[in-house]
């Protein structure tokens, strides 16, 4: 009887270890996606700042290119760059054997497709805070880290102290945080990760 119990315990221990390793791999992948997108944000910010600094808009007007055409061209170019990056991120879940993301691959692709335009437009809005393209390229990642993670965390702490994250203060701070594209995208990835391991967590809770 004891050898059987020991064998079952050893098997459960091995399953737990393998699940833990897979969970950590998927968390690392999530962090890599978020930081990569934040670090690459300068690409979308640099061109508008450069255009304002050099007065390119006036030269384009002389050539007959209006503001609408200029911004549409910029937007399509930035979206094309993001689509290439996003396609690599989605495709990598298969060679890396990240099963939680594989199970939600359509949700993953849809999340990235929605994030791209929102992130690009948000970058254009932030670009008006800079006057030098080199400064924008250097500090935009820091701006995203502060606006996308540090500030929402501080706001959540404030709302917890005021209404225990249950009242209007919490709702207001969450509405503000969710307006920053990195926040809902990160929450979506976390949701996929949680769903991928939900059955295992429930099984362990019932043991």
For 17-57, write each residue's pLDDT tens digit: 777 788 888 889 998 898 888 777 777 787 777 777 776 66
Q: Would you say residue 171 has pLDDT above 80?
A: no
Average the pLDDT over each of 66-70, 82-86, 176-180, 195-199 and give the range with the smallest value.
66-70
- Evaluate whether 182 touches 38 at the Cβ level (below 8 Å): yes
What distance in Å separates the CA atoms of residue 170 and residue 159, rounded to the nearest whole number?
Answer: 5
Residues near 82 by Cβ (< 8 Å), separated by ≥ 6? 116, 119, 120
Q: Please compute, for residue 151, the number of CA atoms within 13 A of its CA located in the half-sphere on the CB side.
A: 17
Q: How many residues does the chain have?
A: 207
Of the listed ranges 74-78, 104-108, 146-150, 180-184, the least confidently predicted one is 146-150
Q: How far, in Å, CA of 2 to CA of 9, rounded?
A: 10
Residue 125, token pair as written in the block: 């809005």
pTM of the entire predicted model? 0.76
Q: Model confidence over 109-155: pLDDT tens digits?
A: 999 999 989 888 888 888 887 777 777 777 777 777 777 777 777 77
Q: How far apart are the first and last CA of the chain?
A: 19
Q: What pLDDT is stored for residue 199 in this prediction?
A: 66
- Structure-token pair, residue 38: 């934040």
Q: Which percentage of the chain shows pLDDT scores above 70?
A: 81
Give the Cα separation of 201 and 190 in Å (integer): 15
Higher pLDDT, 118 or 165: 118
| Average pLDDT over all residues of the chain | 79
pLDDT, position 201: 62
pLDDT at 194: 85
pLDDT at 173 over 80: no
């Amino acid at each position: 009887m004891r050898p059987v119990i020991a064998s079952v315990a050893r098997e459960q221990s091995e399953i737990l270890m393998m699940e833990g390793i897979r969970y950590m791999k998927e968390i690392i992948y999530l962090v890599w996606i978020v930081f990569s997108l934040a670090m690459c944000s300068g690409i979308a910010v640099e061109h508008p700042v450069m255009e304002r600094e050099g007065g390119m808009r006036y030269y384009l007007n002389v050539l007959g290119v209006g503001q609408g055409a200029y911004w549409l061209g910029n937007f399509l170019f930035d979206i094309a760059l993001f689509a290439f990056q996003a396609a690599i991120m989605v495709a990598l879940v298969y060679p890396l054997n990240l099963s939680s993301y594989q199970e939600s691959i359509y949700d993953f692709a849809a999340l990235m497709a929605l994030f791209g335009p929102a992130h690009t437009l948000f970058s254009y809005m932030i670009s008006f805070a800079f006057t030098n393209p080199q400064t924008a390229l250097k500090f935009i990642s820091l701006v995203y880290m502060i606006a996308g993670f540090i500030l929402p965390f501080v706001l959540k702490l404030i709302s917890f102290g005021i209404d225990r994250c249950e009242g209007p203060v919490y709702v207001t701070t969450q509405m503000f945080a969710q307006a920053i594209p990195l926040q809902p995208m990160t929450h979506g990835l976390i949701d996929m990760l949680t769903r991928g391991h939900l059955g295992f967590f429930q099984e362990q809770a019932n043991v």
